[in-house]
Amino acid sequence: MGHDHNHSHGTENVSDGVLLWTVIVNLGLSVFEFVAGAISGSVALMADALHNTNDAAALLIAYIARKISRKGADEQYTFGYRRAELIGAMIQLTALILVGLYLIYEAVRRFFDPEPLLGGWIMTAAGVALVVDVITAWLLWSMSKGSLNVKAAFLHNLTDAGASVAVLLGGAAILWLDWTWVDPLITLIIAGYILYMSFGMLKKTSRILMEGTPTNLSVDEIKEALQNLDGIENVHHIHVWELDEHHRALEAHVVIGEASSMEELESIKETVKTYLREHFSIHHSTLEFESAENRCHNIKGGANCSS
């Protein structure tokens, strides 16, 4: 049938233990930052701690989803479990958006009700956090190619590293210049970036889960291209979607000319499937063939024409 479900994207050979270790390290960092934030009075530091806690949860979800997604197809899930990673990404991103909104609330509150801050504590904690964030991001980098789920976790740690730099600079401004307003300002910047990144990835993840047409594909373009192939008069009821980030699927009704022999029909079918693979990266296609006189919209009641 020409189906291909075995693409390799360089993530399968990376040890799952890397993900597990990043969970443990990020949880430890979260506890440290939260305590340091409480001692120093820094909302930015506690914001970073909350972000890190969410990252630890995100990485744990990534680990579990990665395990589940490797299960093969069975009678209950005939396409396999690969969408588990997308569900994991959706949970992560939703939680991250909630964290971002909370940080905005807390930052605005601190502008109107500032608290005394200890810049030295803030700088020390932010420096430790920066080292951990960079190491975690480096560990996840090789795994982030080819997985929205792991990429979400990787981006979390990149934003953490940026946030840690901002908090570190903010701590210096508080320690030497007594600019306490810098702390809630940095928190707003961190929160804004979190929301910007999260909504972008949430849109992409939702599109796949909603079985939307891939963004770089046009149904009209596919229809026109297939209708230009020899032996095909019309193509309709086209549905194109993504099983996950790497596997596209299509189903369509294909109208051919005069009744052909089985050999001719198989030849046309293979031509269509090959064209879809080579020009549109669609490796799973289900085609229903019709003759011109019996195409589905000519049949009373539109039998077998459900869209």
**Does pLDDT of 37 surpass 80?**
yes
Residue pair 103/187 in contact (Cβ under 8 Å)? The answer is yes
Residues of the chain with CATH 1.20.1510.10: 16-209
Average pLDDT of the segment spanning 118-139: 82
Rounded distance, CA 131 to CA 138, Å? 11
pLDDT at 9: 33
Residues of the chain with CATH 3.30.70.1350: 219-302
Rounded distance, CA 267 to CA 126, Å? 64
Residue pair 205/89 in contact (Cβ under 8 Å)? The answer is yes
Rounded distance, CA 280 to CA 252, Å? 15
Q: What is the pLDDT of residues 117-127, one digit of tens each?
A: 778 878 888 88
**Does pLDDT of 22 surpass 70?**
yes
30's tokens: 């979260």
DSSP 194-245: HHHHHHHHHHHHHHHHTTPPPTT--HHHHHHHHHTSTTEEEEEEEEEEESSS
SS3 254: strand
Rounded distance, CA 245 to CA 243, Å? 7
Return the residue matching tokens 């909370």: 102
**219-302 CATH pick, 1.10.287.610, 3.40.50.300, 3.30.70.1350, 3.40.50.970:** 3.30.70.1350
Q: Decide if domain 16-209 falls under CATH 1.20.1510.10.
A: yes
